[in-house]
Amino acid sequence: LTDYAPRTVLVLGDFVHRAVALAGIRREIRRFLEMVEARSRLGLIAGNHDAGLRAVLDRCGSAVELSDAVICGEYQLMHGHENPPGEERVVMGHEHPVITLADGAGGRLKCPCFLVGERTIVLPAISRWAAGSDVRQGRYLSARARGETFARAIAILGGRLLPVSL
């Protein structure tokens, strides 16, 4: 928010692991909403773990929009647990992609990554609790990802990005 000052922040689903009306969850949701909405417009796309989120948002006094998908130019932004109709280019989450990098001397590092295909971009999970599945194994959860040929991954190494051919 500070570095890029975006007009809109859109969360592509799985905002919480499970939306239950616990005081601690409501407090963290309120804190997040206040932080983002003080600087940007916030939109939330419902993910497969977001059942009950609308009720929790209501209890937090938030009128933030909760959508299934958002069209932005030629892209459909969605969580990805459901297969989108049509042939739009898709930006999605859901998969939690990671890639394992090796240094040739026995060292290995598992890194979250972006996954880039012809018509689909998969974003990494931002939570350290979402371990992810290695993109080199090609086992995807969603029909959209299973139907795509991914040419490259972009590994996140701290504050740097490393393009990797697949």
Q: What is the pLDDT of residues 35-67, one digit of tens each?
A: 999 999 999 999 998 888 888 888 888 889 899
pLDDT of residue 53: 87
Cα–Cα separations (whole angstroms), residue 166 to 8, 139, 155, 163: 32, 14, 12, 10
Strands 75-78 and 89-92: parallel
Strands 97-102 and 160-165: unpaired
pLDDT of residue 52: 84
**How does residue 138 score in pLDDT terms, banded at 50, 70 and 90?**
confident
C-alpha to C-alpha distance for 58 and 23, rounded to whole angstroms:
14
Mean pLDDT score, 106-110 = 90
- β-partners of residue 153 are 115, 164
Query: Of how many residues is the chain composed?
Result: 166
The predicted model scores a pTM of 0.87
- Mapped onto helix, strand or coil, the DSSP state of residue 135 is helix
pLDDT of residue 123: 95
Per-residue pLDDT at 159 exceeds 80: yes
Tell me if 36 sits within 8 A of 64, measured CB to CB: no
